[in-house]
Amino acid sequence: MDWMLLGALALLLLSTAMALALAVCYRQVQHLRQEMAGMARRLSNQADDIAGLCSAALSVDQRLVQSEKRLGDLFDWMESQKTQEKLNQPYHSAIDLIRRGGDVAQLVSQCGISREEAALLLRLHGGDQ
């Protein structure tokens, strides 16, 4: 009988130890579930943040493309103005020469324009000459 009592006592102790181990494991599982839920919330928030950042980056990229296009248009316009200024330069030189008393022959030789252009400029800018 003593052996049976000892066996029952050992079985009771073993069952108690297993119940305690099971309780500890259950608490750890509950803690891990809470931790996992918190991480899932943080992950969801971070995914929302990333989506917002991507949207903002796309908007900035679109504005950058528009700005680059406008800048290119401005450069093209500046180049056309430079070209136009170069094309008009003989006429500016010719008008200055007319104001200083130049005649058709001087306009043709010094400004490289035709006689007809020189005569027209002389009429337009020559005043009383």
DSSP state of 1: -
Instruction: Write the secondary structure of 56-95 as one string of H (helix), E (strand) and C (coil).
Output: HHHHHHHHHHHHHHHHHHHHHHHHHHHHHHHHHHHHHHHH
pLDDT digits (tens, 9 = 90+) for 23-48: 999 999 999 999 999 999 999 999 99
What is the model's pTM? Answer: 0.47
List the one residue out of 125, 124, 100, 122 whose CA is nearest residue 113: 122
Band of pLDDT at residue 53, cut at 50, 70 and 90: very high
User: Residue ranges per domain, the chain?
Assistant: 2-125
Band of pLDDT at residue 127, cut at 50, 70 and 90: low
Provide the mean pLDDT of the chain: 91
pLDDT digits (tens, 9 = 90+) for 69-120: 999 999 999 998 888 877 667 688 888 899 999 999 998 999 889 999 999 9
Band of pLDDT at residue 128, cut at 50, 70 and 90: low
**CB proximity list for 98: less than 8 A, separation 6 or greater:** 107, 121, 122, 125, 126
Band of pLDDT at residue 64, cut at 50, 70 and 90: very high
Contact 118, 108 (CB under 8 A): yes
